[in-house]
Chain A
Amino acid sequence: GENVEQHPSTLSVQEGDSAVIKCTYSDSASNYFPWYKQELGKGPQLIIDIRSNVGEKKDQRIAVTLNKTAKHFSLHITETQPEDSAVYFCAASNTGNQFYFGTGTSLTVIP
């Protein structure tokens, strides 16, 4: 089955700096890659996603890049703000049915 690895497990950045979280996947059939943000006491919330026919997608301060050949994808957050502090999960799916999640990255934005 699919195996998704995520790095780093923790990340601290100064407010205003950029944050990058990286994931790799093993199943070349995976074609959908969402990113979720989980705040304390809440369920994961979809923040951005990308499909395998696209190499990059951007939504305001958040962008995701996908390298299908290398089987890795990354989340980029620019101009970080304290409210970006949360746990971020990447995931991969080839059916849109079952998602395989990474282990999560705890992001802390220091004011």
Chain B
Amino acid sequence: EPEVTQTPSHQVTQMGQEVILRCVPISNHLYFYWYRQILGQKVEFLVSFYNNEISEKSEIFDDQFSVERPDGSNFTLKIRSTKLEDSAMYFCASSDPANYGYTFGSGTRLTVV
């Protein structure tokens, strides 16, 4: 079964540093998403991406965040100048136009120290 692949599985970074979280969506999917889950809290929407541009973003997705599809397979989330409160699980997901249901990756646990 096709999978969404995320790397790394765990990232530790110092406060103020930049991190890039990487995702390889399912190859025939056209919609891509980032969500985050702070420990013990809801899964929260960050951003959706379609046709090489952001289609929706939440209030969480401020200027600190950016997304990019640098080539035909990768989808990245960049967090500039990380803060302690950015520590969370970050999930990438993708979907195809005919099916609302997402396929999630296994997540990247980001720890900001």
Q: Which residues of A contact B (CB under 8 A)?
A: 32, 34, 36, 41-46, 49, 89, 91, 93, 95-104
- Interchain CB contact (< 8 A) of A98 among B58, B101, B103, B107: B58
- Interchain CB contact (< 8 A) of A89 among B4, B43, B107: B43
Residues of chain A lying within 8 A (CB to CB) of residue B104: 36, 43-45
* Contact-size category for B: 20 to 34
Q: Is B31 an interface residue when CB atoms closer than 8 A count as contact?
A: yes
State whether B100 touches A96 (Cβ < 8 A). Answer: yes
Which residue of chain B lies nearest to A44 when distances are taken between CB atoms in the complex?
A: B104
State whether A42 touches B55 (Cβ < 8 A). Answer: no
**Distance A104 CA – B40 CA, assembled complex (angstroms):** 9
Q: Is B105 an interface residue when CB atoms closer than 8 A count as contact?
A: yes
Q: Is B91 an interface residue when CB atoms closer than 8 A count as contact?
A: yes
Q: Which residues of B contact A (CB under 8 A)?
A: 4, 6, 31, 41-45, 48, 55-56, 58, 91, 93, 95, 100-107
State whether B48 touches A97 (Cβ < 8 A). Answer: yes
State whether B42 touches A46 (Cβ < 8 A). Answer: no
Residues of chain A lying within 8 A (CB to CB) of residue B106: 41-43
Which residue of chain B lies nearest to A89 when distances are taken between CB atoms in the complex?
A: B43
- Interchain CB contact (< 8 A) of B101 among A34, A42, A100, A102: A34
**Distance A36 CA – B43 CA, assembled complex (angstroms):** 11
Which residue of chain A lies nearest to B48 when distances are taken between CB atoms in the complex?
A: A97
Q: Check A99/B42 contact, CB under 8 A, given A42-B106, A43-B91, A49-B101.
A: no
State whether B42 touches A101 (Cβ < 8 A). Answer: yes
- Interchain CB contact (< 8 A) of A44 among B6, B91, B95: B91
**Distance A72 CA – B43 CA, assembled complex (angstroms):** 19
State whether B41 touches A103 (Cβ < 8 A). Answer: yes
**Distance A36 CA – B106 CA, assembled complex (angstroms):** 13
